[in-house]
Amino acid sequence: MTDSPGDRRERVSVRRAPKISVFLVAGAGLGILIAMILTFAFDGTTQVSDNTGLEYSQGQVFGFLALMGIAVGLALGGAVALVFDRVSRRRAREVEVRHSSIHIDEEA
Per cent of the chain over pLDDT 70 is 92
Q: Which domain holds residue 67?
A: 20-99
In a domain, 69, yes or no: yes
In a domain, 107, yes or no: no
- With contact defined as beta carbons under 8 Å apart, do 7 and 99 qualify? yes
The total of structural domains in the chain comes to: 1
In a domain, 67, yes or no: yes
pLDDT at 2 over 60: no
In a domain, 108, yes or no: no
Handedness of CA 66, 71, 72, 77 (dihedral sign): positive
In a domain, 51, yes or no: yes
The pLDDT tens digits of the residues spanning 6-65 come to 678 888 888 888 899 999 999 999 999 999 999 888 776 677 878 888 888 888 889 999
pLDDT at 96 over 90: no
Element (H, E) at 10: strand 8-14
